[in-house]
Amino acid sequence: MARLVFDIETSAQPLENFDEVQQEYLLRDAEKIPDETARAARREEITRMFSLWPFTGQVVCIAMLNVESLRGQVLFVADDYEDDPSEAGPVEFVPFADEVELLTAFWDVAKHYDEIVTFNGRGFDVPFLYLRSAALNVPISRKNWLGYRFATEPHCDLAEQFTFYNVSGREGAARKFNLDFYCKAFGIESPKAHGVTGMDVTTLMAAGKFREIAEYCLRDVRATVELYRVWKERLAGIK
């Protein structure tokens, strides 16, 4: 059965998108700090974290690959992006004018797959997609990706598998590492090798570097495919 591996990139919404009451709620922790410099630093830290929360962030890119064929798409939001018609290959880069169009296209692809593979998708990607889609009234074609946790179908979350469902907590033998660390441990090229991380996405969006975000997201997915193969061949079935 075909499996879809995907990863999302998110960026922060501007603080100006929120009314005074919302801003006060979001920045309340910073306003308690008496020192002005420390208060400003905390405000900046909080606004950087907006990209991690679906009601203060937005989905700007989704990369997808079929595990078996390695064909796929990278959907990304871009202003005035001109695609290169000469570009051809197993992965198609598809720009969209806004987040609604991007999410609509994603759910149209997702409905053709019964199983998905992610890295930390249960903790981040899937709930983010569900809540953003609901907030924007985008129909969700697959609503079972957060079902029974101790199963690999329909959702195999590798962050859960390599920790054996957090069997040993934060400090034990099966503690959770990030994707970069797992890749290096298993001899897979790290998606961070090109110097871009998820925390750079908001800055790259502001600079108009949409394709750079898309390529970074695709590197994450390709690494996840390789890590899935390691898990499938060497660890699947351990209980």
Q: Indicate the Cα dihedral angle 56, 209, 122, 91, nearest 10°.
A: 150
Q: What is the model's pLDDT at position 85?
A: 52
- Of 184, 171, 180, 174, the C-alpha closest to 198 is 180
Mean pLDDT across 202-210: 90
Assign domain 3-234 to a CATH class: alpha beta
Q: What is the model's pLDDT at position 22?
A: 98
- CA 157 to each of CA 59, 84, 191, 211: distance values in angstroms, whole numbers, following the listed order: 20, 34, 18, 27
Q: What is the model's pLDDT at position 59?
A: 98
Q: What is the mean pLDDT of the chain?
A: 93
pLDDT bucket at 82, cuts 50 / 70 / 90 = low
Q: What is the model's pLDDT at position 131?
A: 98
Exposure letters 116-153 (e unless 16+ CB within 10 A, then b): bbbbbbbebbbebbbebbeeeebeeebeebeeeeeebe
152-205 residue pLDDT tens: 999 999 999 999 999 998 889 999 999 999 999 999 998 887 667 777 898 998
Q: With beta carbons less than 8 A apart as the criterion, state whether 30 and 24 touch.
A: no
Mean pLDDT across 99-104: 98
Mean pLDDT across 52-69: 97
Mean pLDDT across 78-86: 66
| Domain-wise residue ranges, the chain | 3-234
Q: Which two tokens stand for residue 172?
A: 């034990």
Q: Can you spell out the DSSP letters for 180-237? A: HHHHHHTTPPPGGGGS--GGGHHHHHHTT-HHHHHHHHHHHHHHHHHHHHHHHHHTTT
Enter the pTM of the model.
0.94
Cα(32)–Cα(144) distance, rounded to whole angstroms? 41
108-161 residue pLDDT tens: 999 999 999 999 999 999 999 999 999 999 999 999 999 999 999 999 999 999
Q: In the chain, what percentage of residues exceed pLDDT 70?
A: 95
- List, in sequence order, every residue forming a beta bridge with 65; answer none if it has no partner: 5, 72
